[in-house]
Chain A
Amino acid sequence: MKKKTKLNFFACAMSIALGCISISTTAYASDGTSYVYDGYIYDADRNVVDSPAAFSLERVIDTDNSGGIAIQGIDDVCTSSDGRIFLSDKKSGRINVYDSEGSFLQSIKAIWTKEGTIQLDDDGNQVTLKSPEGCYVHEKTNELYIADSEAGCVVVLNLDDYTFLRKITKPSNMTGSTDFKPSKVAVDEADRIFVVVQSSYEGIIELASDGSFIGYYGVNVPKVNLIDYFWKSLATDEQKAQMSKTLAPAFNNVAIDGEGFVMAVTYDSAATDMVFRLNSKGENVIREEGNTYIKGDIKTEDSSQFVDIAVTDYGVYAVLDQRRGRVFIYDFDGEQLIAFGSLGNLKGEFKTPTGISWLGQKLVITDSTLGCAYILAPTAFGKAMLSGSEEYYNGRWDEALVYFEEAVKYNSNYEVGYTGIGKNYLMKDEYEKAMYYFNLGGSRKYYSKAFYGYRGLWLKAHFKIIAVIFVILVGLLIWSEIKYNRAGKAKA
């Protein structure tokens, strides 16, 4: 009897698994039953609190709707402000271009010149993409940067017609032991080029706009293990040479935020920081003022492993955790807005998520194993969440208040919303209301500020009574002293 149920169960599980696989391979376009990414946040007590979905699956881009070009594995995604999506397929050596609806536009493999011929390199060979791992749209100069790791170069194309502009190879003045195998690339407002080489412990390679080497950029501190430290302090030089070196964790991806700071993530769980906002000295100046740490999942042994980061103009950034297939969204203060996504076989779930990018308020997330890209559209809550953060960042308090109140209606656990409402009341000197909302939002810092105002008003309002009580107390004290002294004298 028992055996039979077991078999039954096995068959059932198999059929479910098969069903899932068949769904995932034929997944395309939203059909009304799109995957909903229910999420969670870490609240002020660092507990996991459920959150309604901020995004739902809108469309899947895969081989079926790529104009007959087989997608083998997508490693990175970037978007232009006019809504084009660039997916870099490392295995087939292509950059595929889609419009904002996810319809196929073009595939870039061979590089063309302005004149309509194929670009030749110095040896007379045709320039083609070998293994484009990363791409970056630089709107300021209207350029598309493609990091080709196998060819060891960064190819720069015109953003409009994808014709060849220049090729950045290993700078002659480059120092250090890092191979020039560009994996990810980003360009800031001063046209400096930041090139990430996977597993390079020296940092991000910083190049001038003409392709000359400026230096390694970014400070990434490894966690020091106390036990290792103890043994190393005992070891002789020979023993030390045999021990594995503690190297600075490598950066895995870069992005440029709205204020021109370089943002980076690291995959290495041995790093002390996971997400970086680097100032000009290369120090991490990310704001961690929220109720949680910017480490993805906390309270867990196997920490999140971030592979990509996408930043909006208003400081909200999304980081992609490859270990659990999760997206974490934080605002510029480091407050967690939401976390969602999971690994699995259902349509909308991930296998090996690799890249993430904002497309307005939508998100584009790529998966290299599934060979597809998901376009996620914000739900009503997601829209309120993002718009609220945007208006708040731009200092439009009243508009922000409307969105925060809406977001809180959808998600009564949304602490960022409560804190946002509270900040609005604090600006208007409505301390009592502000305190109420800061309490809900778990924001002790701002509660303290509101309470300071509240206490000041209270003291002002009740000054007479307080003064009278104070005078009476002092009078009593003096009187008892006098009485005590008289009694003492009388005794003497």
Chain B
Amino acid sequence: MKEKLHYMFFSMTHPFDGFYEIRFRDKGSVLLASIVLAIYGIMKCARAQYTGFILNLNDMSELNSISIFMSSVVLVILFCISNWSVTTLFGGKGNMQGIYTIMCYCLIPLIVSDLLVTVLSNFIILDEAMLLYMLEGIGIVWFVFLVVSGLCVAHEYGLFQNLASIFVTFIAAVLIVFLVVLFLTLEEKMFSFATDIVREIIRTR
């Protein structure tokens, strides 16, 4: 476990080597990945709540930690699922476990930058907000770099093939969301149909 933890942080600075070890020498851990994902969701909630008053434009009376947590976590999982479904069709070598592990590890720079921004935002004034946005930008660029390199390693793709697969992944994600919404709507209709029938049957004068 200690070794796996070591490789998790090692991949942050050496993504190709690190993710290679994780992918091919079983140095990744789904448990660790899930913990990172959970921390990411919690961090998003903390960011919404504990950002300093000057930069925090959220309506505190409307803040819903559960929905923030779910939406950030579900987005990552959705990306994993749609990436897996796309790459399976396009000859990617990655399996679901590998994709999930790597994706979650990639979130670490985002967590760190979120943490820094949240803490520092309590000590800055409006004129210095630019610095924080820069910090956040660094986190995002780092995250994107990790995702691209990680998926390259996981699927044994070239760079452009990988970028194309990521692009298609987004389209697939939209499709998945569409299907889910469609399914839920239909299911709701079915359910209300069934309840209507039951109501008609048990109705008394």
- List residues of chain A with CB under 8 Å of any chain B CB: 45-47, 439, 444-445, 447-449, 451-452, 455
Contact = CB atoms under 8 A, between A and B. Distances in A.
A400 B53 CA distance: 26
Q: SS class of chain A's interface: helix, strand, loop or mixed?
A: helix
A455 B123 contact: yes
Residue from A46, A445, A448 whose CB has the most chain B CB atoms within 10 Å:
A448
B54 interface: yes
B61 A444 contact: no
B126 A455 contact: no
Contacts of A449: 125
A447 B123 contact: no
A452 B61 contact: no
A47 B59 CA distance: 9
A451 B54 contact: yes
Q: Please tell me the size bucket of the interface on B.
A: 10 to 19
B54 A448 contact: yes
B53 A45 contact: no
21 contacts: A45-B59, A45-B60, A45-B61, A45-B62, A46-B59, A47-B59, A47-B61, A439-B53, A444-B54, A444-B126, A445-B126, A447-B53, A447-B54, A448-B54, A448-B125, A448-B126, A448-B127, A451-B54, A451-B125, A455-B123, A455-B125
Nearest to B126: A448
Interface of B: 53-54, 59-62, 123, 125-127
A47 B53 CA distance: 17
Contacts of A47: 59, 61
* Among all A-B residue pairs, the 6 with the closest Cβ atoms: A448-B126, A45-B59, A448-B125, A452-B125, A448-B54, A444-B54
B124 to A, nearest CB: 9
A7 to B, nearest CB: 24
A439 B54 CA distance: 9
Nearest to A444: B54
B53 A444 contact: yes
A31 B61 CA distance: 41
A447 B126 CA distance: 9
A447 B59 CA distance: 17
Contacts of B125: 448-449, 451-452, 455
A450 to B, nearest CB: 9
A445 B54 CA distance: 7
Contacts of A45: 59-62
A487 to B, nearest CB: 20
A485 B33 CA distance: 35
A449 B125 CA distance: 7
Contacts of A447: 53-54
B119 to A, nearest CB: 15
Contacts of B126: 444-445, 448
A35 to B, nearest CB: 31
A55 B61 CA distance: 29
Nearest to A445: B126
Residue from B59, B62, B126 whose CB has the most chain A CB atoms within 10 Å:
B126
Contacts of B53: 439, 444, 447
Nearest to A438: B53
Contacts of B60: 45
A449 B128 CA distance: 12
Contacts of A444: 53-54, 126
B163 to A, nearest CB: 29
A447 B127 CA distance: 12
A193 B86 CA distance: 70
Contacts of B54: 444, 447-448, 451
B191 to A, nearest CB: 30
Nearest to A439: B53
Residue from A45, A46, A445, A449 whose CB has the most chain B CB atoms within 10 Å:
A45
A445 B57 CA distance: 12
